[in-house]
Amino acid sequence: MGNGVTRRAFLRTAGLMAALTGARGPGPAWARWPIAAAHSVSTFVYGQHLVAKEQRFFEDEGVALDRLFVPGSGAEVVRALAAGQTTFALGDSIHPLKLSEAGRDTVMLFATDTRCPYANLVVRKALHDQGVRTLERLADQALVGCRAVVAVTAIGAPTWVYGHYLLERVAGADGRPLNASVEWVAGGDATAMLEGLKAGRFDAIMAAPEGVWVAEGEGFGATIYDVLDGRAWARVFGGPIPVTVGYALRETVERSPEAVQGYVSACYRAQQWIRRASDEEILELLHRPYMDAFPRAAVLRAIRYYKAIFDWGLEIDEAAYWNGMRVWSPRAIKAPAPYAAAVEMVFVRRARQRHGAEG
């Protein structure tokens, strides 16, 4: 095409404008756009998918959810998206950035939260009793006895990315970042890390709230960094970060903007339903079909926890994105990705325009 406009850019703009103008409204009269969606495990951190499915928001928004893929790990979700086995994914914001860096152009469509739920740091109860009650005390070898051993799922994994940034931003008594005074080790999955903390193989672990509750409930761990503490979070991370995001391949956004709009609108409506519903209503909707392996009390506790960090508007603003980029690059990706290349907000803005705050 002439005037310096590439065919790809033209098609992308035309497709997005078609979605934005919304020539066809939502509802049963729509042709159903078949989609598949994926998230790693069916816990409440991914409640937007589950609520949208149970409340039939996908169908209401003109898309037919042919498959909800739950493979057990974020890495498998990424592989499924790259292979075309799922249309949309809900997971860690690091994943679409890494996919793009690997050559599969991927975009974030919305964010469901504002803080990283697995950036809590839990120490052995014995160390806590000896005085290791703040991050700074991890560097005190008189208390720890040697370099503190801090476990994450794997070196380079998201738990390491956020943990490494956390301890890089906090200095010990000698003025050096805490990373200089600790040893990072791969601890395996959440169960293995908890077992290692309990057995004394690890001095501390990075943990999601469910791990925190086990360690504290069984009396072998104590939290010294809690992401629910807003002041502590802002001190280290500077403000909101889009940690859990909905994402898709760029080619999907360009070729099927109507399906993208339906998916995003359904998730937006689910988030508004979660915002308005009581904790008990959410429990009744989701426990039996998705979480009955866990006690109802544990699921209710998770609902209350994640609601405290959810982003009700789902929008990824540029300031929050760059807060995150300071964490992600160069730990997870080689170089910062421009906001405009990594994020597409037209769909969530259209959903908000159509549905407002009522869902």
Q: Are strands 120-124 and 221-225 parallel, antiparallel or unpaired?
A: antiparallel
What are the extents of the domains in the chain?
Answer: 7-114+241-355, 120-237
Is residue 212 over pLDDT 60?
yes
DSSP 240-290: ----EEEEEEHHHHHH-HHHHHHHHHHHHHHHHHHHHS-HHHHHHHHHHHH
Calpha distance 119→323 (Å, rounded) = 15
Please, what sign has the CA dihedral across residues 305, 306, 312, 313?
positive
Task: Identify the pLDDT of residue 5.
Answer: 40
Establish whether domains 7-114+241-355 and 120-237 are of one fold.
yes
Angle formed by the axes of helices 94-101 and 74-82, nearest 10°? 40
CATH of domain 120-237: 3.40.190.10
Closest alpha carbon to 143 in 163, 168, 173? 173
Calpha distance 141→139 (Å, rounded) = 6
Q: What is the pLDDT of residues 60-92, one digit of tens each?
A: 999 999 999 999 999 999 999 999 999 999 999
Closest alpha carbon to 35 in 59, 51, 18? 59
DSSP 278-341: -HHHHHHHHHHHH-TTS-HHHHHHHHHHHHTTB-TT----HHHHHHHHHHHTTTTSSSPPPHHH
Task: Identify the pLDDT of residue 236.
Answer: 98
Q: What is the pLDDT of residues 214-272, one digit of tens each?
A: 999 999 999 999 999 999 999 999 999 999 999 999 999 999 999 999 999 999 999 99
Task: Identify the pLDDT of residue 32.
Answer: 85
Q: What is the pLDDT of residues 84-143, one digit of tens each?
A: 999 999 999 999 999 999 999 999 999 999 999 999 999 999 999 999 999 999 999 889
Residue 63: phi and psi, rounded to 5, are -120, 145
Write out the two tokens for 46. Answer: 């991914």
Lowest mean pLDDT among 30-34, 206-210, 336-340: 30-34
Closest alpha carbon to 170 in 157, 154, 153, 182? 182
Q: For the chain, percent helix, then strand, then coil, each to nearest 5?
A: 50, 15, 35
Residue 124: phi and psi, rounded to 5, are -60, 140
Task: Identify the pLDDT of residue 288.
Answer: 97
What's this model's pTM, rounded to 2 decimal places? 0.89
Helix ranges (H only) for 146-242 are 158-169, 190-199, 209-217, 230-237
CATH of domain 7-114+241-355: 3.40.190.10
Calpha distance 82→6 (Å, rounded) = 24
| DSSP at 31 | P
Number of helices (H), then strands (E), belonging to the chain: the values are 18, 10
